[in-house]
């Protein structure tokens, strides 16, 4: 049983937490780890409502406590996120001030901290004291998409729960209701959003059509089959980091479709099924080994750039200039991809 019927996927994390609550063995600190926008915070909020609900687990949704939580006015539910680039030490001290007070309504206090990886060292050291000897009625749900940025001292005091993106068909079912789309239209958006619920809700079919046309005008078949040309394209687009990121994601998805078509020849499993003719034409030009090599190559570029972008954020470096230099380095020294 899930905590909230509106949560898409995440059955195993919810089962783990529900069983812990039912057995009265819920830990004092959990780290929810997974990609951005896939529903980690929604699960944390649903668990918090269930802990604070006056009637049942999962939460009833109608008692005064549930209504206060929905309106973000519950005195025992605290949601914290970065102010600017970081979670500041002043925010941590506000949390600590609440820890010494008894719950205002029920028997528990719940803290949801989104972006726990965005604490600076001072904030992290201060927060560590809160995790070392927490009161019995306190529960922390910490959320991150970048666990490698969290100090080991904090990680060691949390129970880790990993989240994976919801299956495309599950997200598509949700979208058919929320956006009144056909099954095929909803699945197309679900596939392109890579399980990111927020992205899926913001996407529309017209935008996808425009993006596809733009990318098909930009990219030729020979580009996909040659790592040197993929490097050249990355270098040409390096002045716009966001556009480069989106382009690499598009290439990755299209290469994936080409390999799927090469292996099984079924359009049902294609993200770009609307472009089946182009997939057929381009796929026929290359062996599977070449397509797979390019796919792995693009995946490695994406991983490297994501890692470097995170490092730049953590040291306040200027994004545009620094990332442009990184792209130049990648284009000049392909061997750095071996680091990913």
Q: What's the confidence (pLDDT) of residue 266? A: 83
At residue 28, φ and ψ (nearest 5 deg) are -85, -20
What is the rounded CA–CA span in Å between residue 333 and residue 315? 24
What is the rounded CA–CA span in Å between residue 311 and residue 187? 35
Whole-number average pLDDT of the chain:
85
Indicate the domain borders of the chain.
11-162, 168-203, 205-339
Q: What's the confidence (pLDDT) of residue 311? A: 60
Q: Where are the alpha helices (DSSP H) in 221-318?
A: 221-224, 227-236, 241-264, 276-283, 288-314
- CB neighbours of residue 62 within 10 Å: 11
What is the rounded CA–CA span in Å between residue 32 and residue 40? 6
Percent of the chain at pLDDT > 90 equals 39
Place of tokens 């600076």: 120
What is the rounded CA–CA span in Å between residue 79 and residue 69? 11
- 202-213 burial by CB neighbour count: b if 16+ within 10 A, else e? ebeeeebeeebe
Distances (CA, A) of 3 to 17, 18, 23, 174, 177: 9, 8, 16, 16, 20
Residue pLDDT, tens place only, 192-242 = 888 888 889 888 889 888 888 888 888 888 888 888 888 788 777 777 777
DSSP state of 55: S
At residue 39, φ and ψ (nearest 5 deg) are 115, 15
Q: Which residue has the higher pLDDT, 133 or 141?
A: 141
* pLDDT beyond 90 at 73: yes
Q: Which pairs from 253-259 meet CB under 8 Å and 24+ separation?
A: 253/191, 253/192, 254/215, 254/219, 254/224, 254/279, 255/224, 255/291, 255/294, 255/295, 255/298, 256/295, 258/224, 258/282, 258/283, 258/286, 258/291, 259/288, 259/291, 259/292, 259/295
Q: Which residue has the higher pLDDT, 1 or 120?
A: 120
User: Do residues 212 and 253 touch, judged by C-beta distance below 8 A?
Assistant: no
User: Do residues 8 and 166 touch, judged by C-beta distance below 8 A?
Assistant: yes
Place of tokens 């951005």: 36
Q: What's the confidence (pLDDT) of residue 163? A: 95
User: Do residues 171 and 197 touch, judged by C-beta distance below 8 A?
Assistant: yes
Q: Which fold has domain 11-162?
A: Rossmann fold (3.40.50)
Q: Provide mean pLDDT across the span 312-324.
A: 54
User: Lowest-confidence range among 144-153, 252-261, 276-285, 310-319?
Assistant: 310-319
What is the rounded CA–CA span in Å between residue 99 and residue 103? 9
* pLDDT beyond 60 at 336: no
Count helices and strands (H / E) in the chain: 16, 5
User: Lowest-confidence range among 9-18, 129-138, 151-160, 327-336?
Assistant: 327-336
């Amino acid at each position: 049983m899930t905590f909230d019927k509106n949560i898409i996927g995440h059955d195993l994390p919810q089962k783990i937490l529900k069983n812990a609550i039912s057995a009265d063995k819920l830990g004092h600190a959990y780290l929810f780890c997974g990609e951005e926008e896939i529903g980690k915070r929604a699960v944390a909020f649903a668990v918090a409502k269930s802990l604070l609900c006056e009637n049942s687990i999962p939460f009833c949704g109608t008692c005064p406590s549930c209504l206060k939580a929905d309106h973000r006015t519950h005195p025992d539910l605290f949601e914290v996120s970065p102010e600017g680039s970081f979670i500041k030490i002043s925010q941590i001290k506000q949390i600590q001030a609440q820890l010494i007070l008894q719950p205002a309504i029920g028997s528990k206090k719940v803290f949801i901290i989104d972006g726990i990886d965005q604490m600076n060292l001072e904030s992290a050291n201060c927060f560590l004291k809160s995790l070392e000897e927490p009161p019995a009625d306190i529960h922390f749900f910490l959320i991150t998409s970048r666990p490698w940025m969290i100090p080991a001292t904090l990680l060691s005091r949390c129970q880790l729960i990993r989240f994976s993106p919801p299956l495309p068909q599950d997200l598509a079912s949700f979208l058919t209701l929320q956006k009144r789309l056909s099954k095929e239209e909803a699945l197309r958006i679900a596939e392109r959003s890579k399980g990111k619920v927020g992205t899926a809700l913001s996407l529309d079919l017209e935008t996808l059509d425009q993006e596809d046309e733009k990318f098909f005008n930009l990219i030729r078949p020979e580009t996909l089959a040659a790592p040197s040309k993929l490097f050249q394209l990355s270098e040409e687009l390096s002045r716009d980091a966001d556009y480069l990121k989106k382009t690499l994601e598009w290439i990755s998805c299209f290469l994936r479709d080409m390999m799927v078509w090469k292996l099984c020849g079924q359009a049902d499993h294609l993200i770009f099924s609307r472009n089946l003719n182009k997939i057929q034409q381009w796929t026929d030009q290359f062996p599977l080994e070449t397509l797979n090599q390019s796919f792995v190559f693009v995946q490695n570029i994406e991983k490297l750039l994501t890692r470097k972008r995170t490092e730049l954020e953590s040291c306040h470096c200027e994004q545009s200039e620094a990332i442009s230099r990184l792209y130049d380095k990648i284009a000049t020294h392909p061997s750095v991809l071996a680091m990913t």
